[in-house]
Amino acid sequence: MVLELPKRWGKNSEFEGGKSTVNCSTIPIAERFFTSSTSLTLKHAAWYPCDTMEPHIVLLTSDNTIRFYSLKVPHTPIKVIVLSDTEEETLTIKTGRAYTASLGETAVAFDFGPQVPVPKHALGQRGSEEVLGYPLYILYENGETFLTYVSLLQSTGSPGKLLGPLPMHPAAEDNYGYDACAVLCLPCVPNILVIATESGMLYHCVVLDGEEDDEQSEKSWDPRSDLIPSLYVFECVELELALKLATGDEEDPLESDFSCPIKLHRDPKCPSRYHCTHEAGVHSVGLTWINKLHKFLGSDEEDKDSLQELGAEQKCFVEHILCTKPLPCRQPSPIRGFWIVSDVLGPTMICITNSYECITRPLLSTVHPASPPLLCTREDKELAVSPLRIVAEAEHSFEKHIQGILNCFSLPLRKSLREMAERLADKYEEAKEKQEDIMNR
């Protein structure tokens, strides 16, 4: 269901000019589809990132399918991407859950990356020329990540080729967990993927071109390359979902096995920061090493395995902004709504809990967008000379130069002042005569 708020107008820019009660329009998305398919559930929903088109919403359902819907035609998808072509997908257990879902081989989340040029055949079209498309990263529950390219401006029918699973370096026996629940692509180049698990682990992965020894031959992140992109795990972060209580001086603190799904949110004010909402509260994560990463990739260093050494120099900042489960014995209060607003004192988050309580908190202040370089840090030796310095070093002094400018404007200025004074004098005489006439009457 999509809710559309009315327009703002008036002195204070309020809804419908400040009415106490306003009417909002609602648009049901795929209503007939979900009504007729009662066994299907919605896994993830997001807006299509294009700003030049009409709004489109993207839905990931439990049948391992991604559908694109336009708000003008909300009942019929304009594009469908089937993520599984196995026959086992049609064989369901009595509960309606597929065998592939039981093995964690179903998609649980997705996210779009920044727009990049891709060849037409990557979008399912004929031709070798390049067009603009969005990389779509799809996360499976078993931790695998797939990639495809999408462009509704070029094609709405035939889907692009699904690439993956993307190899992860360094490799792990458990594939970095089997309880993946969310993925987020930060708006930077190269793309940085954040993969979250229900146990509270966050993996910051850098999307780079694959190595030649990888056993892949598909199209990669760089569309002009013949290698599939790889995910280089830059660092791992473990969130403290529940506080740990110490039992004594010599005993270890009690650890809770509490786990829950985690949702990832971009920060509209700072691209190097994102936020995690879950049943135990809100965490804010700031990546302070993005600038160093760009310098490293821009250098001649070819050993990508040294990315872990770069990550060891400076870790990310993690702040538990809001805790809704202070004790392991307390019931959690899930976060139902989350957004970032601008404030006079800085960005502020607004949260709505499960009990419909609105909470505001200031955000992490140690991470902020990169400031432009100072003039004193410029390395150019031939700096631009100030015009005032040119005037000061001329044959005539600076005072004489200013005096000459004043002399140029003095004659017209005096003339205009004289004319204005004469007009005021005439108006004063007319007003005086009118006043005498009135007194005589």
Q: List, for residues 53-99, the tens digit of each pLDDT value.
A: 889 999 999 999 999 999 999 999 999 999 876 444 444 443 444 54
> For residue 435, which phi and psi values (nearest 5 degrees)?
-65, -40
Which of 8-17, 75-84, 291-300 is the most confident on average? 75-84
d(CA 328, CA 103) in angstroms, rounded, equals: 30
Range with the poorest average pLDDT among 111-125, 189-203, 207-221, 387-401 = 207-221
413 burial via Cβ count (<10 Å: 0-12, 13-18, 19+): exposed
Specify whether the CB–CB gap between 316 and 286 falls below 8 A.
yes
- Between residues 146 and 242, the one the model is more confident about: 146
Specify whether the CB–CB gap between 61 and 44 falls below 8 A.
no
Band (275; pLDDT cuts 50, 70, 90): very high
Q: Alpha helix locations (H) across 265-322?
A: 290-298, 307-313
| 3-state secondary structure at position 214 | coil
Per-residue pLDDT at 271: 86
Find the mean pLDDT for residues 247-273. Answer: 74
135 burial via Cβ count (<10 Å: 0-12, 13-18, 19+): buried
Per-residue pLDDT at 402: 67
The answer to whether residue 420 scores a pLDDT higher than 60 is yes
Band (301; pLDDT cuts 50, 70, 90): low
Q: What is the mean pLDDT of the chain?
A: 78
Band (372; pLDDT cuts 50, 70, 90): low
Neighbours of 243 (CB within 10 A): 16
96-148 pLDDT, tens digit each: 445 455 555 789 999 999 998 887 777 777 767 788 889 999 999 989 999 99
The answer to whether residue 42 scores a pLDDT higher than 90 is yes
Per-residue pLDDT at 88: 45
315-369 pLDDT, tens digit each: 788 888 888 887 777 777 889 899 888 766 678 889 998 888 888 888 766 565 5
The answer to whether residue 292 scores a pLDDT higher than 70 is yes
Per-residue pLDDT at 259: 80
Per-residue pLDDT at 221: 42
Specify whether the CB–CB gap between 209 and 289 falls below 8 A.
no
Per-residue pLDDT at 356: 86
Per-residue pLDDT at 276: 93
Residue 112: C-alpha distances to residues 32, 118, 179 (Å): 27, 14, 21
d(CA 384, CA 389) in angstroms, rounded, equals: 11
pTM of the entire structure?
A: 0.73
From the CA atom positions of the chain, what is the Rg in Å? 32
Here the tokens at position 216 are 């892949």
Range with the poorest average pLDDT among 22-31, 64-73, 244-253, 329-338 = 244-253
34 burial via Cβ count (<10 Å: 0-12, 13-18, 19+): middle
